[in-house]
Amino acid sequence: MALLKISEPGKSPMPHQFKRAVGIDLGTTNSLVATVPPGKSPHVIVDAQGDALLPSVVHYAEDQINLVGQPALDMSIADPHNTLASFKRWMGRSIDDIQSDDSYDYVRPDAVDGSPDASKASALVAVHTRAGAVTAVEASAEVLKNLAARAESALGGQLQGAVITVPAYFDDAQRQATKDAAMLAGVNVLRLINEPTAAAVAYGLDKADDRYIAVYDLGGGTFDVSILQLSEGVFEVLATGGNAALGGDDFDRAIADWVLAQAAVSAADLGPSAYRQLLQESRAAKQALSEHRAVGLAVAGNGVDWAGELSRQQFEELIDGLVEQTLAGCKVSLADADLVPSDIGDVVMVGGSTRVPRVREKVALLFGQEPKIDVDPDQVVALGAAIQADMLVGNNQERELLLLDVLPLSLGIETMGGLVEKIIHRNTSIPCTRGQEFTTYKDGQTALALHVLQGERERVADCRSLARFELRGIPAMVAGAAHIQVTFDVDANGMLEVSACETNTGVAASIKVQPSYGLAESQITAMLQASHQFARDDLEVRALIEQRIEAESLLDAVQAALQADRHLLDASEVQRIDSAITELAAAAKQDEVVSIKDAIARLGHQTEAFAARRMNQSIKQALQGRHIDAIADPVQDD
C-alpha cells in the first residue's frame, strides 16, 4: 500500500525541511538581519568580516556600483553629496513636511521633489546625487538588498520571506514606504511588526506570567515607547507613542553644536566634508563617554582649528532636554493605557542609544526599577523579528504567539458640515474591521464623495487627509432613504482599505489607502496634544455645526412642503410659519447653539398641524377609488 504525504493545510509535508526566513531591523543608523536555525536559538547573521551591524548608509559611486554599509560610511566625508545617511527619518515624507517641520533640518539643502510629476505636493523627498534624485525608499532598498544577500549566502539559498520591523509610531505612509523599499529589493514581506513588540518577543516575555511591559526604544533616529499587556501568550499593545525625529543622531548633533559654539563657527564655515567628520567624531565621543569621564574633541577645516575636552557631566547637560522628551512620551503612553509606572512588570531597553548611562538612569528613575539590558540593544529587535518570521513560515510549530499592535491615530470620514466621524479610534488593536452606516443628504442624490481622514480633532480642517473616492450609482431616493455601509479594514501591517456599499442595490466602491507621504512625528504629537487641549472647543464647534445642519435640513423640508401644499394653510398660519422660518434662518447664522435649537423647536411646533394635514392628504389620495375589501385584502388588487 502506498503511503501518502499528509500535512495540515499550509504546513510543510516534510517537517525536517525548514524554510529560509529572516527578521530585518531596518534602522536609521544601523541595520541587521537575523534568523532562527533549525533547533537553535535566534542569532544575527554577520558579514564576511564578522560584523553584525550594517551602517544604513549608501554611496552612489562614479562607476554606478553603489556602496552600502561601512564602505559607504567611509566615503561620507570624502564625497558627502553622493552619500546618503539617516534617510529613514525622511521615509514617507514630502517636501511640504520637511519645509514645515524644523525637526527635519538635517535633510540636505539640495532635497528635491522625488515625484515624476513636479506639481504633486505630496511627493516623497529625494536628494540629488550623481545617480539622479534618490528617495529614502530607493536608498532603503539598497540596504535591504545587501541584508538579503548576506542572509542568502549564510543560509544557502533564496529567502522565502522576511519580517521587517518599523517604529511603532510609523504612520500608514511610512509603513507603505517600507514595503515599497522591500519590493524594490526583491524581498517578500511576511509582515511588518513594531520594533518594541519584536523586542519583547526576543526577551522571551511571551513565556512569562501575565504582566504589563514597557518597551523603551531609542535608536539612532527614532524613539518609540510601547505599553504591552501579556496575557496567556498574547501580546496586546495597549498604547504607543514616540518621536520619529528623535534619537542618537540628535545626541551627536548636540555634541557637534557644542563644539561649533566653543570654536565660535558655524557648520557652513566648516563645509560639508569637515562637518561630516565632526559628526562622526561626535558619535565616537558619545560612545566613549559611556565608559570614560571625559573625552578629547577637535575640529578643523576651512581655516578652523579648535581642540578641547568634553566631560560626561557636560554631555549629560547637553542631552538632558532630549532625554526628558522621551520620558514625557513614556508618561503619555502610560496615561493612554490607564496605568502608572508601578504597574509595569518589566522595562525593556532597545536601541544603541540606550547604552548612554544617563538614559538608563532616567528610565530607571521613572519606572522605579532597573530596565532589562541583558540582550544586545542593537540586536534585540532583529532577533524578535526572526522569531516571528520563523513562526509565520511554519518552521516553529510548538511556539504560539499572537501580536496585537495598535493604531497610533484615529481614522474616519468627512460628514456634512466639515465634521469628522471616527470609524476606528486610536489605540485600537489591529488587524481590525469597523463599519458604520451613513445615508444621503439631498433628495435624488445618486453619488457620494468619501473623504478618509486621520486625526483626533472634530473638524476636517484639523485632521490629515488620507484619500478620497466616490460611490456612484446610488438609486435616486428621498434624502435619508439610502443605506450606505462604510467599512474600514486595517490589516496586520497597519495598512488601510476603505469600502462603501449601498445595501439596497449592492453598488460598491473601495480604495486602498497608499499615500506617498504621511505625518511627521512632531505632527502626530501635536495632533494628540491638540485633541486634548481643544477637546472642549471641538465639542462646542461640533454641536454648533450639527445644529446648523439640522436647521438647514428642516428649512429645506418646510419650504418644499409649502411650495407643494400651501393651500392646506390659511393666511395666518402661513404668516406664523414664515416668521419661524425667518427666525431659524437668522439663528443659523449665529454662533449660539441654544438659539438655533430653540428656533428649530419653534418652527417644528408651528408646522405640526401642517404636517398632520399633509399626512392625511397623502392617505386620502392613496385610498381614493379603492374598495374597503381591497384595503383589507391587498391581494384582490392584483
Angle at Cα 369 formed by Cα 363 and Cα 373, nearest 5°? 70
Find out whether 108 and 133 touch, Cβ atoms under 8 Å: no
List 79, 88, 97, 502, catalytic entry: 88
Strands (DSSP E) contained in 195-345 are 211-218, 223-231, 234-243, 294-301, 304-311
Kindly give the interhelix angle for 312-336 and 248-263, rounded to the nearest 10 degrees. Answer: 140
The cell for 238 is 495597549
Q: How would you label 53-87 residue by residue, b for 16+ Cβ within 10 Å and e otherwise?
A: bbbbbbbbbeeeebbbbeebbebbbebbebbbbbb
Rg, C-alpha atoms of the chain: 31
Residue whose C-alpha cell reads 485632521 in the numeric block: 463
User: Using CA atoms, how far apart are residues 138 and 161, in angstroms rounded to an integer?
Assistant: 20
Q: How far apart are the two ends of the chain, measured CA to CA in Å?
A: 69
Q: Which of 47, 142, 172, 195 is catalytic?
A: 195
CA pair distance 516, 174, nearest whole angstrom: 9
Nearest to 75 by CA among 134, 2, 129: 129
Q: Is 25 considered catalytic here? A: yes
All residues at 6 or more sequence positions from 1 whose CB lies less than 8 Å from its CB, including other chains: none
Per the DSSP assignment, residues forming a β-bridge with 511 are: 498
Burial class, 472, CB count within 10 angstroms (exposed 0-12 / middle 13-18 / buried 19+): exposed
Which of 138, 217, 489, 521 is catalytic? The answer is 217
Q: Do residues 372 and 196 make contact, with C-beta atoms less than 8 angstroms apart?
A: no
Distance CA 194, CA 196 (A): 6
Active site includes 442? no
Catalytic residue among 25, 101, 250, 390: 25
Which are the catalytic amino acids?
25, 88, 195, 217
